Amino acid sequence: MTHQLNKLRLRLHSSNFTSFYHPSHQLVLNRFSTKPTTTTTTKTTAYHIGKSGQLYSPWFVKLVTTLGNRLGYNLPTSHAITITSDLYDHCSNQFQLEKSFWINECGLPDSFQTWFQITQLHMWILIVRFRSMKNNLGRTYIQEFVNHGFLDTEHRIRSTPYKVTKNSLIKSYMKTMLDQHYGFLVGFDWALATDQDGSDSVLVEAVWRNLFGARWGKGMGGVKGKFNSNPLKESEEVGNRDGIDGLDFLDDVLFLDRLERILVWIRIELIRVSRISDDEIINYSNNKLGDLRVRNKLIEFGKF
C-alpha cells in the first residue's frame, strides 16, 4: 500500500501529469499519510483608538507610555498642571460671563482689579475642595492652580490694554496682587471656620472687604464705581421710590439684596464642589470617561 501511495505522489508532482491532478487526490494522500496535518491561525492585533480617532498599535502605545513615564508626564504633579490649567481658565472667564451682575447691579467698576477679585472668588471655591484631597494631592493641585493664576495675571498686565513694560512696576503690581490673594484666602477661610451659627456675619464682612473694598459703590483700587455710596446724596427726582425728603436710598437698599445673593451663591457652590470625588477631579481631563457631566461638575459655576 505504501509503495502504491509513493508512486501516486510521484505521478501527481510530475510535470507530465499535472493536468490529471484533482484536489480530492490530496485528501486521499492526507488520509493515509503518517505526517500530522497543521492548521495556521491568524493572530488579531488589538488596536487602540486615540482622542482624534486614529488607530495605534499596542507596541506604539506601550512605547509612548514608557517614554512618558520616563519623562515624568504621568506623575501626579504633571497631571495636576494639566487639570488646573483648564480649571483656572474657567475661573478667569467668570467675570466676563457675569459682568452684568457685577457692574450693573453691584456697581463695581469694569477694571482689572474687579476682574482679579472675582477670579479669586471662583478660585477659592475650588481651593476649598482641593484641600480635602487624599495623599497630599490637594497641596499639589492648589500650588499649580495658583501658579496658573499669577502667570495669567502677569500676562494680562503686560498685554493690551495695559501694556506695562517696566519690570520694576510689574514686580510691584505682582507683589500687591499676591498680598491680596493671601488676604482673600485668610479672610474667607476665617469666615468658614467661625460662622458656626449659620449667620454668615463674618462671611459677609469678607465679601464686603475683598469684593467691594469696604466702600460700597466707590470702587476698588482707586477706580470709581457706578454708584455713589453716600446714602444722603441728593435725589435727581424729588419723591423718588425710596426717597425721604428728597433723599434717595434705593441703591443702598438694593445693595443688601446683592450681598445676600453673593452669600447664597457661595454656600451653594461650596456644597456643590464638596460632592465631587477625588477620582472625578483626577480624571477630569480623561476623555475615556465619555461623560461631559463629570467635567461640568467642576467647571459649571452657578449664576447670580
Q: Please tell me whether residues 142 and 283 are part of one structural domain.
A: yes
Q: Please tell me whether residues 168 and 27 are part of one structural domain.
A: no
Among the listed residues 136, 150, 156, 145, the one whose alpha carbon sits nearest the alpha carbon of residue 87: 145
Task: Quote the pLDDT of residue 246.
Answer: 47
What band does 102 get if pLDDT is binned at 50, 70 and 90? very high
The residue ranking higher by pLDDT, 232 or 270, is 270
Q: Please tell me whether residues 8 and 125 are part of one structural domain.
A: no
pLDDT at 57 > cutoff 60: yes
What band does 50 get if pLDDT is binned at 50, 70 and 90? low
The residue ranking higher by pLDDT, 130 or 27, is 130
Rounded average pLDDT over 100-121? 93
Question: Is residue 274 in a domain?
Answer: yes
Tell me: the pLDDT tens digits for 226-243?
555 444 444 444 444 444
Question: Is residue 48 in a domain?
Answer: no
What band does 122 get if pLDDT is binned at 50, 70 and 90? very high
The residue ranking higher by pLDDT, 293 or 221, is 293
The x, y and z cell numbers of residue 82, run together, are: 494639566
What band does 79 get if pLDDT is binned at 50, 70 and 90? confident
The residue segments making up the domain with residue 196 are 81-299
Q: Please tell me whether residues 213 and 284 are part of one structural domain.
A: yes
The residue ranking higher by pLDDT, 278 or 47, is 278
Q: Please tell me whether residues 88 and 232 are part of one structural domain.
A: yes
48, containing H or E segment: strand 48-49
Tell me: the pLDDT tens digits for 167-208?
999 999 999 999 999 999 999 999 999 987 878 999 999 999
Cα–Cα distance list, 243 to 238, 249, 263, 304 (Å):
7, 6, 27, 27
pLDDT at 259 > cutoff 70: yes
Task: Quote the pLDDT of residue 202.
Answer: 94
Please tell me whether residue 55 adopts helix, strand or coil conformation: strand
Question: Is residue 215 in a domain?
Answer: yes
Alpha helices in 195-287 (DSSP H): 201-210, 250-274, 278-282
Task: Quote the pLDDT of residue 216.
Answer: 60
pLDDT at 69 > cutoff 60: no
Q: Please provide the DSSP assignment of 141-171 as one string.
A: HHHHHHHHHHHHHHHHHHSTTT----HHHHH
Domain count within the chain: 2
Whether pTM > 0.95 for this model: the answer is: no
For all residues of the chain together, what is the average pLDDT? 76
Peptide bond into 161 cis (omega under 30): yes
Q: Which residues of 221-253 are buried (b: 16+ CB within 10 A; e: fewer)?
A: eeeebebbbeeeeebeeeeeeebeeeebbebbe
In whole angstroms, give the CA distance from residue 208 to residue 216.
Answer: 8
Q: Please tell me whether residues 115 and 254 are part of one structural domain.
A: yes
Q: Please tell me whether residues 141 and 198 are part of one structural domain.
A: yes
Cα–Cα distance list, 182 to 186, 196, 245 (Å):
6, 23, 45
In whole angstroms, give the CA distance from residue 299 to residue 26.
Answer: 71
CB atoms within 10 A of CB 106: 25
Q: How far is CA 186 from the centre of its chain?
A: 24
Task: Quote the pLDDT of residue 288.
Answer: 45
User: What residue type is assigned to position 158 of the chain?
Assistant: R
The residue ranking higher by pLDDT, 240 or 273, is 273
Question: Is residue 47 in a domain?
Answer: no
Provide φ and ψ at 230, rounded to 5°.
-75, 110
Question: Is residue 200 in a domain?
Answer: yes
Share of the chain above pLDDT 70, in %: 61
Q: Please tell me whether residues 205 and 128 are part of one structural domain.
A: yes
Q: Are 82 and 139 in contact (CB under 8 A)?
A: no
Task: Quote the pLDDT of residue 263.
Answer: 96
Q: Please tell me whether residues 106 and 211 are part of one structural domain.
A: yes
Tell me: the pLDDT tens digits for 20-40?
444 544 444 444 445 555 555
Among 119-123, 143-147, 211-215, whose mean pLDDT is lowest? 211-215
What band does 121 get if pLDDT is binned at 50, 70 and 90? very high
**DSSP structure class, residue 234:** B
